[in-house]
A and B are shown apart, each in its own frame.
Chain A
Amino acid sequence: MSEFVETISRSEDGRFLELLIGPQHPASGHMRLVAEVDGDVVVSLRPNLGYVHRSVEKIAEVKKFLQIIPLVERPSLADTTANNLAYVLALERLLGVEPPPRAQYLRTLLAEINRIHSHFYGIGIHGVMIGSSTAFMWAFGDREPLIHLAQELTGARITYSYIIPGGVRRDMPPDFPDKVEKVLRYIERRLEDYDKLYVRNPVVRARLEGVGVLKKEDAIRLGITGPNLRASGVPYDVRKADPYCAYPDIDFNVITREEGDAMARFLVRVGEIRESMKIIRQVLKKMPDGPIFAEKYYKMLPPNLKKYYEETKEVKFPGIFANLRAPAGESVARVEGGRGEVVIYIVSKGGMNPYRFRIVTPSFRNAVLFEHLVRNVRVADIPAIYGSLDYFPPEADR
């Protein structure tokens, strides 16, 4: 792979300017980009990762299984449900627990609400990176109703810790479907205004169309994931390829585009917001009745907690959760989050902690795109491409 051997091509005569973008830069995020520019043209660019590395994998080795749930949420704050869900799926495979159907649907519901607000986050950041403060403010404002919904469902705005082994932590409030429907109608209406002011704005199109083109074969070769992959014409979505939770029963489309440029990546996100709304409506319609916590753990609850759970539909943990032991073995799970595929791999030796915990986040897999796409483009294209990747440094650094 000679193309990655030497991406920094220091010139002899000092013609190229080395530009250190970040970590203290308005649009770098928590990372540094080392760019080499020839006038206004970027010759090469290398991301310098690790500025916010916290070694989640090492910390997980000394945390108990339940304590890892909040831990895996921390790296990607805009998209916590994906990490939470991927971890719990892997853990459940290890424990041999199957959550009841209603819990599956509630998981799907939260995952899709989270996907929409994660996409709004990405769209907003992308907008301000190319200079549209309105796109930024609108997207972050319209994220708020969705965060409010998630808060009603889980009790927290961002770090939900909602999905636990064997189910979810509480049932939705009775008037929840009504509220969701109102918010979805609002978002639908707003997307039309986005379309007029931002998507079809000729300046936006001039900035994004044909910029940072990722070819289909390159996307596959480099193992790109998420909307960035689908924008290059690969119809891979974990929800279809390896369905989990309630997705086998749900009818939805995988949004793909053929162009592979920054605009295509942006439009895939917009399309996925619409698909997610479709999924949420179906989930609420098909939501089965029944328990939200696996029978196996429900049986361990003392009678007063059982009664509380029956009355309020709020799960109380059995005492075993404090020191949950997983049998020896290993399991791997993947989930399609807002930014792409989260892979979690747990190796257990039968103790209270995982022996080895591996989390591969979508941003880390997409990090290679910086050096692949940002070559022979203009300085102004760096933020345009960066934003279109929906790259989140803390998520990549973990």
Chain B
Amino acid sequence: MAVERVFDHLRAIATGAKYLFLKPRLTLMYPDEVEDLPRGYRGMITYNHETCISCSLCAMVCPADAIKMYLPKEVPEGEKRPKRYPGINYTRCIFCGFCVSICPTFSLQHSTIHDVSFYTFEEQIFRPEEFAKGPPKPQYDKEPVKVRVIPDEERGLRYERV
């Protein structure tokens, strides 16, 4: 029993020592390396104003009240009932993608952008006009290396330069 315990100690130490000489690091060196996300990643939303039919399903389904229907800033002359268009509030958005899934005209789509920072809360509210311009680009100090994350039998995850 006691001898067995000594071996257990030695085995634990040997296993730890083994890792001193292996190179299986899992760290992704963000922001020097940035994951090249596949299509289908649920990032920030892009909005196509041209195809939007103003059905407001996106606002109705939004679980966080992030999407709301906005009146245009300037109502066109002679329009009795101006159409409302969606705008998004990224302080609330939870990236569930229900709006994208329910949009019948594919006007809302996911981008793969997810790491954007803002200075104020107001900046994160995108009215339809700004929403149509697309999500802001993330700012990096220097251009990051794009890597693809690949499951690997030896290392768990492997990062391959694109």
Contacts and interface: CB of A to CB of B under 8 A. Distances in A.
Whether the complex brings A and B within 8 Å at their CB atoms is answered yes
B152 interface: yes
A190 B157 CA distance: 13
A315 interface: yes
Contacts of B162: none
A322 B94 contact: no
Interface of A: 63-64, 66-71, 134, 141-142, 144-145, 148-149, 151-152, 154-156, 159, 161, 169-170, 173, 179-180, 182-183, 185-186, 189-190, 193, 196-198, 200-202, 302, 304-305, 308, 314-317, 319, 321-323
B63 A67 contact: yes
29 contacts: A63-B63, A64-B61, A66-B61, A67-B63, A68-B63, A71-B63, A148-B149, A149-B151, A152-B38, A154-B42, A155-B40, A155-B97, A156-B41, A156-B95, A159-B96, A170-B40, A173-B40, A182-B153, A183-B156, A186-B156, A193-B15, A196-B11, A198-B12, A200-B8, A201-B8, A202-B9, A314-B40, A317-B102, A321-B102
In the complex, the 10 A-B pairs of residues with the closest C-beta atoms, listed nearest first: A67-B63, A322-B60, A155-B42, A317-B102, A196-B15, A197-B15, A141-B26, A322-B61, A179-B151, A161-B96
Interface string B69-87: 0000000000000000000
A322 B55 CA distance: 11
B138 interface: no
Contacts of B113: none
Interface of B: 5, 8-9, 11-12, 14-16, 26, 38, 40-42, 55, 57, 60-64, 94-98, 101-104, 106, 110, 149-157
A316 B104 contact: yes
Contacts of B106: 308
Contacts of B38: 152
B8 A319 contact: no
B67 to A, nearest CB: 11
Nearest to B57: A322
A145 B156 contact: yes
Nearest to B18: A193
A70 B96 contact: yes
